[in-house]
Chains A and B, each alone.
Chain A
């Protein structure tokens, strides 16, 4: 936390010399080595680290793909096939990038739901949360434009439908869409600019991630109890404790990731994207990538064009004001028995919305989409404000140390009783 004093102590002359001029090693040491983290963090807290790694993987694989990819309406599709068939390890690089986008979203959804469960967005972490939502939006824009690049049928028609969302804007809608396209339909100028932006946005994400981590290090992390850190014994140094836990979770995550890359590389994609873009024929059933499906279901739930677009953007915008919608003073769902139930209901609702988004927009599916869309908004706009008033919460522990060790006046630090099973530093 910002309050903690630096324990960086450069040993050799060169590092001392540098420390007086550009204390970068000190910043790294204070942020990722000696930085105190709550001692009771569980695996739900390891996804932030994974997200940083995923961003790095996407940038590295992306930059090398861009060495072979051609952003031309005539050549793009073939250049991707060229990457798959001719370029050395091209198939691997592309599958790592394509599935990387999916893994990125799996991680970000777990990360967001972690925040919802443990009340991470509450005072004093509102700015930290809002920066997270900004990153989420930038990720969606990046992934959307990336999916356009292979210039298959789904690329083309996904781009058409999504850019047309802006045509719902009264008065200026049509001119905005023409401006986005650089023409009168999705075409060469569109592909070219999407490539430019797809290259740019990840670096903007990296910039916002720095702000996000900065804000995190000002307020400190939450933890499963939701009780703020009060004393030294509530925390452990980031390295080795959090580093090892993050690394282990990352390895497990990579096993899943590799399973997709090597055994199911196209499972999360759509077969129609292996058909070259054809501006005259729309595939019978167009769906976005899986990570957009819940929002797509909300778009289609409304029988009105502008209404659907407003609700779809609203479903993300509501996250920005979440810190002020949740009126409960208690942070963690562990001590909010009623909220905990509604939290899981919300998780199910979000997943069902995703499933509905993958179904054709007809009959029962549309009716179900409407019901679940209404519930999605009710969760934020009605349930959360009311729960804070009516819910009977459970008593909070006095401190993190007490919740871990069962008594509050333990000594802390490394002098822990070895019988404390939940105490991570007692491991061999």
Chain B
């Protein structure tokens, strides 16, 4: 050991540092990796667990939703709005010029071709997560009472603090009357 110590001292001013410096740095690096390895499980346990991720998709019978009506179903713990829009509502949604929108998106991109009247959206305000009220607001669509966000008949944000349009979940028509969400 005393040999090494001597050596260290003589090479202390060397450009590459001493062997002891090397040991410090490697030990430190291992300690950091070790601590990170221990902390990660503690952090990651808070993420959605296997049972939450496994939440299956939901099938809905939409035959009873008449024109102008809407229903709310639960998918992944969240409300999903299924609205059978009137032709007038669809027209109103289509006629909005893109430059009036906060988060520009055509109405055709928000509904399935051939079934434009059915608007299917996650019923969660993109501001801070409240459930907006239907048939309300200054644009004939939805209104979020929490901090005053107005959505139009296409569920697009028009006024208020929310930054984005109401989200469209992944969905598929299984038949004329059944819809699968997720």
Contacts and interface: CB of A to CB of B under 8 A. Distances in A.
Interface of A: 157, 160-161, 163-165, 167, 178-185, 187, 189, 193, 279-282, 284-286, 299-300, 302-305, 308, 360-362, 366
B131 A282 contact: yes
B28 interface: no
B163 A183 contact: no
Contact of A185 (B76, B133, B161): B76
Contacts of B52: 182-184, 187, 189
Contacts of B132: 282
Contact of A280 (B74, B76, B129): B74
In the A-B complex, list the 4 residue pairs whose CB atoms are closest, starting with the nearest. A185-B77, A164-B128, A164-B129, A282-B130
* Most chain B beta-carbon contacts within 10 A, residue among A182, A193, A282, A304: A282
Nearest to B80: A280
Contacts of B68: none
Given A180-B46, A185-B78, A300 B145 contact: no
Nearest to A308: B161
Nearest to A163: B129
23 contacts: A163-B129, A165-B128, A167-B128, A182-B47, A183-B48, A183-B52, A184-B48, A184-B55, A184-B76, A279-B77, A280-B74, A282-B132, A282-B144, A284-B145, A285-B145, A300-B161, A304-B163, A305-B128, A305-B162, A360-B148, A361-B146, A361-B147, A366-B148
Given A161-B130, A179-B46, A279 B161 contact: no
Contacts, number: 91
B73 to A, nearest CB: 9
Nearest to A177: B129
B17 interface: no
Contacts of A280: 72, 74, 79, 123, 131
A362 B149 CA distance: 10
A273 to B, nearest CB: 16
Contact of B148 (A163, A284, A299, A361): A361
B49 interface: yes
Contacts of B145: 282, 284-286, 360
A299 B127 CA distance: 12
Contacts of B46: 179-180, 182, 189, 193
Nearest to A157: B130
Interface in B128-152: 128-133, 144-148
A415 B151 CA distance: 76
B104 interface: no
A308 B127 CA distance: 11
Contacts of B79: 279-280
Given A179-B46, A189-B49, A282 B161 contact: no
A302 B130 contact: no
Given A183-B52, A300-B161, A160 B77 contact: no
B160 interface: yes
B161 A183 contact: no
A182 B49 CA distance: 7
B74 A279 contact: yes
Contact of B77 (A179, A183, A366): A183
B77 A282 contact: no
Contact of B48 (A161, A178, A303): A178
B40 to A, nearest CB: 12
